[in-house]
Amino acid sequence: MTDIFEIMKSRRSVRTFRGDNVPDSDIRKIIEYAVMAPSGSNQQPWKFMVIRDRALKNSMAGCVNGKISAVKGNIKSAKAEEHFKGYLQYLTFFQDAPVVICVLTRPHRSVFENILHKYMPEEEKEKQFFVDASIQSVSAAVQNLLLAAHAMGYGTCWMTGPIIAQREIEQVLGVEEPWHLTSIIPLGKPREIRPGYFSRKPVDEVLIFKK
Ligand SMILES: Cc1cc2nc3c(=O)[nH]c(=O)nc-3n(C[C@H](O)[C@H](O)[C@H](O)COP(=O)(O)O)c2cc1C
């Protein structure tokens, strides 16, 4: 599949995978497209750590389960508990994918932002909306990654739920400062392809032509 509009439209989050091998060459190609994304001041604040080892994937899921238990013990309301339980299925399925890509970023400020921050009056600083360029840049790369993988017949799911155990997973993976884990992307041949497109808000609801 090579039509970009069709690729963007037909990509869906995939949460169950076949066990088929994913060759290193395919992963390399997907990351080559991921890093074509734009980034603030072209800083390219991203790294992609590829995990295939079953024990390592289980340890990562174990970190998430540890956090889940800690949170569960503190929930007092039945409604909050019900909501919480509903989300649990979305947190650890990555461990059953043949490949897990851990996306890392590091904070960075452009030279321009540094000057702004240094010379902006204090009262203005407080009002300033914080534009996190690293997160925006790495997110652009993740979207490219998802689309490239989909174009090559692979399924993925952009996951930030497991980041509740960010520090613990970083320790398991040996991630070192200034790098931090921002998302986890399971990758593999989809076990099932759900037909149709996922619902989206109508364009008229989100598009503003400001005259
Ligand atoms: C920033 C971000 C975080 C997400 N985190 C999770 C997650 O932790 N677990 C999960 O199952 N899906 C996660 N998703 C996938 C969304 O649920 C999914 O994209 C959305 O429901 C639309 O479905 P679609 O991707 O099939 O179009 C995440 C998506 C984004 C963009």
**CB-based contact 168:63 (threshold 8 Å):** yes
Measured from the Cα of 163, ligand 1's closest atom is: 8
Q: For residue range 75-98, what is the model confidence (pLDDT) as tens digits?
A: 999 999 999 999 999 999 999 999
Distance CA 160, CA 166 (A): 9
Domains and CATH numbers, the chain: 4-206 (3.40.109.10)
For ligand 1, mutation pick of 157, 163, 164 (most atoms within 8 Å of CB) = 157
Q: Which DSSP symbol is given to 155? A: E
Query: pLDDT tens digits for 141-152?
Result: 999 999 999 999
Ligand 1 pocket (Cβ < 6 Å) reads: 12-13, 15, 90, 157-161, 198
Q: What's the confidence (pLDDT) of residue 111? A: 78
pLDDT, tens only, 42-61:
999 999 999 999 999 999 99
- Is-contact 40 114, C-beta < 8 A? no
20 token code pair: 């088929």
User: In angstroms, rounded to a whole number, what is the distance separating the alpha carbons of residues 94 and 74?
Assistant: 26
Q: How far is the CA of 13 from the centre of ligand 1 (A)?
A: 7
| DSSP one-letter code for 174 | T
Position 197 pLDDT exceeds 70 = no
Which atom of ligand 1 is nearest the CA belonging to 198? Answer: 27
pLDDT at 192: 79
Ligand 1: which atom is nearest the Cα of residue 90?
11
CA 59 – ligand 1 centroid, Å: 22
Evaluate if residue 130 carries a pLDDT over 80. Answer: no
For residues 48 and 102, is the Cβ–Cβ distance under 8 A? yes
CA atoms of 149 and 11, how far apart (whole Å): 9
**Nearest residue CA, atom 10 of ligand 1?**
90
- Amino acid identity at 30: I
Say if residue 100's pLDDT is above 60. yes
* Distance from residue 150's CA to the centre of ligand 1 (Å): 15
d(CA 193, CA 10): 10
What is the rounded CA–CA span in Å between residue 117 and residue 124? 10
Q: What is the DSSP letter of 35?
A: T
